[in-house]
């Protein structure tokens, strides 16, 4: 028995799949940060719940760094990787050197300070490139909190670029992307701010 669907129904199915993918990915970013916070607490007894304030955005920057570690020659075990990511996130998002002192102390004890410094440098580079990109689309970034507010976009820039290239209605595409992102329930930006940002990015990437 064959089942035929109309073009309209096919578009609806594809749209729902895309929506689910983007929504799930935002939750994955938050879950990644939550896992770091929980494991640092469990292994080292340190409370880093402040990272959950911008959990999705922290994940947006830490997942690329995690991939950098995995593909590099750092010879780190899982616990050391978590320790380095936690310290890097604390510095990149909060610049709280006093608060990260205990993490650095643990890093020194593990003898992995050179690896940490290299990974932190890569994180600073990624953050700088991202801020430059946002400035290029007239999204003004003047504080760490503003960087934190948008960093969840880092891993999905290529997805947004693909949408921009295939879209004939950027306004409608922006609204659809925002709807998908907000559906995750873990985005810190308001719908209005996010819509403006996505429209600017789509226009830049078109």
Over 60: is that where the pLDDT of 7 sits? no
pLDDT tens digits, one per residue of 92-113: 887 766 668 889 999 999 999 9
pLDDT tens digits, one per residue of 160-187: 888 877 777 888 888 888 888 888 777 7
Over 90: is that where the pLDDT of 50 sits? no
CB atoms within 10 A of CB 182: 17
Burial label for 131, CB within 10 Å (0-12, 13-18, 19+), is middle
Query: How confident is the model at residue 66, as a pLDDT?
Result: 94
Kindly report the average pLDDT of the chain as a whole number.
Answer: 83
- pTM score, two decimals? 0.79
């Amino acid at each position: 028995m064959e089942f035929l669907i109309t073009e309209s129904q096919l578009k609806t199915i594809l749209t729902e799949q895309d929506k689910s993918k983007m929504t799930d990915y935002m939750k994955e970013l938050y879950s990644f940060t939550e896992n770091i916070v929980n494991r640092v607490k469990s292994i080292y007894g340190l409370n880093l719940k402040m990272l959950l304030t911008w959990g999705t955005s922290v994940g947006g920057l830490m997942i690329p760094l995690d991939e950098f570690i995995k593909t590099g020659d750092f010879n780190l075990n899982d616990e050391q990787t978590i320790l380095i990511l936690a310290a890097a996130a604390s510095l990149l998002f909060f610049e709280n050197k006093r608060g990260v002192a205990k993490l650095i102390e643990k890093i020194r004890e593990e003898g992995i300070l050179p690896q940490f410094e290299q990974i932190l440098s890569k994180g600073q580079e990624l953050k700088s490139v991202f801020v430059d990109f946002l400035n290029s689309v007239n999204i003004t970034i003047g504080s760490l909190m503003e960087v934190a507010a948008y960093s969840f976009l880092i891993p999905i820039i290529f997805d947004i670029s693909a949408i921009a290239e295939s879209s004939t209605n950027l306004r409608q595409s922006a609204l659809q992307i925002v709807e998908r992102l907000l559906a995750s329930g873990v985005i810190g930006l308001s719908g209005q701010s996010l819509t403006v940002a996505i429209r600017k990015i789509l226009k830049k990437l078109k």
